[in-house]
Amino acid sequence: MTTQTGATDLRADVIIVGAGSGGCVLARRLLDAGARVLLLEAGGSDTQPGTGLLIRAPAAFPKLFKTGVDWAFDTVEQPHAGGRRFYWPRGKVLGGSSAINATIYIRGSKADFDGWGEGWRWDDVLPAFRSIEKFTGEAGEFRGDAGELAVGHRAASHDLSHAFVQAASGVLGVPAMSSFNHGTLEGAGILESNHHRGERQSAFRAFLRPVMNHPNLTVLTGARVLELLWEGKRAVGVRLRWRGRTLDAPAGGVVLAAGAVQTPQLLMLSGVGPKEELTRHGISVRVNLPGVGGGLQDHLAVPVIFRSKVQSLDGGSEGAAFAQWLLNRTGPLASNVAEASAFVRSGPDLQHADLQYHFGPAYFRDHGFQRADGWHFSVGPVLVEPYSSGRIGLISADPLAAPRIDPRYLSDGRDLRALVSGVRQARDIGAGEGLRQMNTGEVLPGNAATSDTELAEYVRQECATLYHPVGTAALGDGDDAVVDRRLAVRDTQGLWVADASVMPRIIHANTNATSMMIGARAAKFVGKNS
Catalytic residue numbers read 468
- Cβ neighbours for 374, distance < 8 A, ≥ 6 positions apart: 307, 308, 315
User: 237, 208, 248: which is closest to 14 by C-alpha?
Assistant: 237
Nearer Cβ to ligand FAD (255/455): 255
Site for ligand FAD contains 97 (CB under 6 A): yes
Nearer Cβ to ligand FAD (35/518): 518
Q: Which residue is nearest to ligand FAD (CB)?
A: 20
SS3 28: helix
Least Å distance, CB 58 to ligand FAD, is 9
Least Å distance, CB 509 to ligand FAD, is 7
Whether the link from the prior residue into 504 is cis, omega within 30° of 0, is: no
Nearer Cβ to ligand FAD (211/226): 226
Q: Which stretch binds ligand FAD (CB under 6 A): 92-100, 412-420, 424-432, 520-528?
A: 92-100
Adjacent-strand bridge partners of 378? 305, 360
When binding is defined by CB under 6 A, the residue of 4, 312, 421, 510 that contacts ligand FAD is 510
Site for ligand FAD contains 96 (CB under 6 A): yes
User: 34, 22, 23, 64: which is closest to 46 by C-alpha?
Assistant: 64
Site for ligand FAD contains 258 (CB under 6 A): yes
* Amino acid letter for position 443: V
Instruction: For 271-312, give the secondary structure using H, E and C.
Output: CEECHHHHHHCCCCCCEECCCCCCCEECCEECCCEEEECCCC
Nearer Cβ to ligand FAD (375/467): 467
When binding is defined by CB under 6 A, the residue of 100, 126, 483, 497 that contacts ligand FAD is 100
Nearer Cβ to ligand FAD (338/481): 338
- Cβ neighbours for 351, distance < 8 A, ≥ 6 positions apart: 111
285: exposed, middle or buried (C-beta count within 10 Å: 0-12, 13-18, 19+)? Answer: middle
SS3 499: coil
Site for ligand FAD contains 48 (CB under 6 A): no
CA atoms of 484 and 497, how far apart (whole Å):
10
SS3 434: coil
| Contact set for ligand FAD, span 7-46 (CB under 6 A) | 17-23, 40-43
Least Å distance, CB 46 to ligand FAD, is 10
Site for ligand FAD contains 89 (CB under 6 A): yes
- Give, rounded to a whole angstrom, the gap between the first and last alpha carbons of the chain: 32
Helix (H) or strand (E) holding 15: strand 12-17
Q: Which stretch binds ligand FAD (CB under 6 A): 112-120, 316-324, 387-395, 506-514?
A: 506-514
Least Å distance, CB 93 to ligand FAD, is 6
User: 10, 83, 180, 107: which is closest to 457 by C-alpha?
Assistant: 83
Least Å distance, CB 129 to ligand FAD, is 12
Least Å distance, CB 447 to ligand FAD, is 31
**Contacts with ligand FAD: how many residues (CB under 6 A)?**
42
Site for ligand FAD contains 262 (CB under 6 A): yes
Secondary structure letter of residue 403 according to DSSP: P
CA atoms of 295 and 288, how far apart (whole Å):
16
When binding is defined by CB under 6 A, the residue of 158, 205, 224, 521 that contacts ligand FAD is 224
When binding is defined by CB under 6 A, the residue of 10, 225, 236, 423 that contacts ligand FAD is 225
When binding is defined by CB under 6 A, the residue of 463, 506, 511, 517 that contacts ligand FAD is 511
CA distances from 524 to 121, 280, 287, 483, 486 (A): 16, 37, 25, 15, 8
414: exposed, middle or buried (C-beta count within 10 Å: 0-12, 13-18, 19+)? Answer: middle
Nearer Cβ to ligand FAD (30/223): 223
Least Å distance, CB 91 to ligand FAD, is 5
* Number of C-beta neighbours around residue 283 at 10 A: 19
Nearer Cβ to ligand FAD (21/378): 21
Least Å distance, CB 517 to ligand FAD, is 11
Least Å distance, CB 244 to ligand FAD, is 16
Site for ligand FAD contains 468 (CB under 6 A): yes
- Cβ neighbours for 173, distance < 8 A, ≥ 6 positions apart: none
Q: Which stretch binds ligand FAD (CB under 6 A): 143-151, 211-219, 422-430, 511-519?
A: 511-519
Nearer Cβ to ligand FAD (90/130): 90
Nearer Cβ to ligand FAD (78/472): 472
User: 251, 223, 221: which is closest to 35 by C-alpha?
Assistant: 251
| Contact set for ligand FAD, span 51-80 (CB under 6 A) | 61
Q: Count CA atoms closer than 13 A to 442's CA, side-chain side.
A: 19
Q: Which stretch binds ligand FAD (CB under 6 A): 7-15, 271-279, 371-379, 504-512?
A: 504-512
Site for ligand FAD contains 102 (CB under 6 A): yes
Site for ligand FAD contains 274 (CB under 6 A): no
Site for ligand FAD contains 500 (CB under 6 A): yes
- Cβ neighbours for 451, distance < 8 A, ≥ 6 positions apart: none
Least Å distance, CB 465 to ligand FAD, is 8
Residues that bind ligand FAD (CB under 6 A): 17-23, 40-43, 61, 89-92, 96-98, 100-104, 223-225, 257-260, 262, 266, 467-468, 499-500, 510-513, 515
